[in-house]
């Protein structure tokens, strides 16, 4: 029915090529278009000798239907298994002719999956009180931040007793080894309230952005093609690199790559220079740790998520130092609520983010419920690494209906 509606609408927009020549190709199909998504259409539409094509947006809609050639549209009855279970109970990943495979995500989360989230001892207890509790809670966090860390890298937890704790403003966890904990995330547990009608983040887990290439050099990736899912690659002279080094791997966004994608304009004839991609503006950067060096081959702890092609720019490796990136920090067992104007179900002048994480690694948010925030419950920015979000619920966001900000990311 939708396709028929498109055809009816399209009849109002006749199209002819310059000189009167008409297009002669299959243009749309009822179900799908073979060769693009592998969907086998029930019927395709093409232009016959006595039919004229019509434009609907950027699609051409002809007038005569014909049955597809079955051999052309036939799908395999035994599609290849991309991921399967091996005889040893471990996952087996299939690769294509260039070595691309589904990436292994088992290294995501706290400590890359090598350790469990620590059970942090309570050091300071904060009881609920009327009025703004932001200063009292922040002082308790700062007290724990000043303690010496114990063997597992944690300093201690601030325990918020059950009840309502109003915060006019926000809280910061900006030191390693500090945990903010409540007593259950239900309405009868610890409720941390983002009070006041202004846009801000309630809780920021944030270190310092002081990452530097302290060696002042980089290593070029030599492989003509590093496939998706790869965990090793060759570099020009691996001397100076060693296992345990924290590195960034950069896939360059060059003009050659931009031209290949056709991103020299926005599309549809929109040539606005502000919409064109610029070289270097779409670099992909992965944060990894070297696990092995074998001559000029470098192996890292987690896979590459996009192929690196030398012909369109290739990539480079840099060792970094990040002294004030924080770790072993978390939020758990608490309910977060944003106050809003109850007379306005599309209110946007209240807390947007419940929790943001940046310049941090080995962090966690677990057993947390968030309600009425306009944007994300947990926003992990590009500088966050190995973060676990477990057993969390985001409820009833309050925001304008036309906004696209209602997600957990």
Instruction: Round to whole Å and give the CA distance between 235 and 231.
Output: 13
pLDDT computed for residue 400 by the predictor = 79
pLDDT computed for residue 276 by the predictor = 82
> How would you class 229 by CB atoms within 10 Å of its CB: exposed for 0-12, middle for 13-18, buried for 19 or more?
middle
Tens digits of residue pLDDT in 312-355? 999 999 999 999 999 999 999 999 999 998 888 888 889 999 99
pLDDT computed for residue 252 by the predictor = 98
Specify the DSSP element, H or E, that contains 6: helix 2-10
Instruction: Round to whole Å and give the CA distance between 304 and 312.
Output: 17
Beta strand ranges found along 127-254 (DSSP E)? 156-160, 163-167, 171-173, 178-181, 190-194, 201-206, 219-220, 225-226, 232-234, 246-251
CA-based torsion, 261, 266, 271, 275: positive or negative: negative
* Number of Cβ atoms within 10 Å of the Cβ of 315: 26
Strands 297-300 and 284-294: antiparallel
Specify the DSSP element, H or E, that contains 144: helix 134-145
- CA-nearest of 349, 353, 405 to 379 is 353
pLDDT computed for residue 20 by the predictor = 38
Q: How remote is the C-alpha of 383 from its chain's centroid?
A: 12
- CA-nearest of 160, 121, 115, 154 to 138 is 160
pLDDT computed for residue 268 by the predictor = 65
| Token pair listed for 318 | 């840099």
The SS3 assignment for 209 reads coil
Stated length of the chain: 409
**Long-range CB pairs of 54-57, under 8 A, 24+ apart, other chains included:** 54/10, 54/11, 54/12, 54/13, 54/14, 54/15, 55/10, 55/13, 55/14, 55/15, 56/6, 56/9, 56/10, 56/13
CA angle 303, 251, 308 (to 5 degrees): 65
* Domains located in the chain, CATH noted: 2-73 (no CATH), 122-210+325-395 (2.160.20.10), 219-319 (no CATH)
pLDDT computed for residue 331 by the predictor = 98
In the DSSP assignment, the letter for residue 356 is: E
Phi, psi of 169 (to 5 degrees): 135, -135
* Number of Cβ atoms within 10 Å of the Cβ of 400: 13
CA-based torsion, 131, 179, 368, 352: positive or negative: positive
Strands 190-194 and 225-226: unpaired
Q: What residue ranges of the chain have pLDDT lower than 50? A: 1-69, 404-408
Tens digits of residue pLDDT in 4-38? 343 333 333 333 333 333 333 333 333 333 333 33
Beta bridge partners of 206: 358
Please give the radius of gyration of the chain, using alpha carbons only, rounded to the nearest integer: 28
Instruction: Round to whole Å and give the CA distance between 64 and 67.
Output: 10
The SS3 assignment for 160 reads strand
pLDDT computed for residue 33 by the predictor = 32
Strands 28-29 and 44-46: antiparallel
Specify the DSSP element, H or E, that contains 259: helix 255-261
């Amino acid at each position: 029915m939708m396709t028929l509606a498109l055809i009816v609408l399209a009849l109002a927009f006749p199209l002819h090529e310059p000189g009167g020549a008409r297009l002669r190709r299959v243009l749309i199909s009822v179900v799908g278009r073979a060769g693009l998504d592998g969907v086998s259409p029930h019927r395709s539409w093409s232009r016959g000798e006595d039919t004229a094509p019509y434009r609907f947006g950027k699609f051409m809609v002809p007038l005569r239907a014909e049955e597809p050639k079955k051999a052309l549209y036939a799908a395999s009855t035994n599609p290849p298994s991309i991921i399967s279970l091996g005889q040893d109970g471990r996952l087996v990943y299939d690769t294509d002719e260039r070595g691309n495979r589904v990436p292994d995500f088992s290294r995501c989360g706290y400590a890359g999956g090598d350790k469990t989230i620590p059970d942090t001892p309570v050091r300071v207890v904060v009881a609920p009180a009327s009025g703004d509790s932001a200063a009292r809670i922040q002082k308790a966090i700062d007290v724990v931040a000043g303690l010496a860390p114990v063997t597992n890298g944690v300093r201690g937890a601030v325990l918020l007793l059950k009840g309502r704790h109003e915060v006019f403003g926000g809280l910061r966890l900006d030191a390693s080894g500090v945990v903010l904990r409540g007593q259950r995330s239900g309405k009868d547990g610890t409720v941390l309230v983002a009070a006041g009608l202004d846009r801000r983040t309630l809780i920021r887990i944030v270190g310092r952005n002081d990452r530097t290439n302290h060696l002042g050099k980089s290593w070029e990736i030599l492989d003509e093609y590093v496939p998706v899912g790869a965990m090793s690659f060759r570099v020009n002279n691996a001397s100076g690199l060693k296992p345990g080094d924290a590195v960034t791997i950069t896939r360059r966004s060059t003009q050659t790559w931009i031209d290949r994608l056709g991103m020299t304009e926005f599309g549809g004839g929109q040539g606005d220079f502000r919409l064109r991609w610029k070289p270097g503006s779409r670099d992909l950067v992965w944060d990894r740790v070297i696990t092995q060096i074998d001559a000029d081959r470098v192996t890292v702890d987690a896979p590459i998520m996009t192929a690196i092609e030398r012909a369109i720019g290739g990539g480079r490796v840099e060792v970094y130092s990040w002294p004030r990136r924080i770790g072993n920090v978390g939020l758990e067992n608490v309910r977060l609520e944003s106050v809003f104007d109850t007379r306005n179900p599309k209110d946007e002048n209240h807390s947007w983010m419940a929790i943001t994480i940046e310049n941090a690694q080995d962090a966690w948010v677990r057993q947390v419920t968030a309600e009425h925030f306009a944007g994300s419950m947990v926003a992990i920015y590009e500088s966050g690494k190995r973060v676990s979000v477990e057993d969390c619920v985001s409820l009833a966001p309050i925001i304008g209906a036309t906004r696209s900000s209602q997600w957990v990311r």
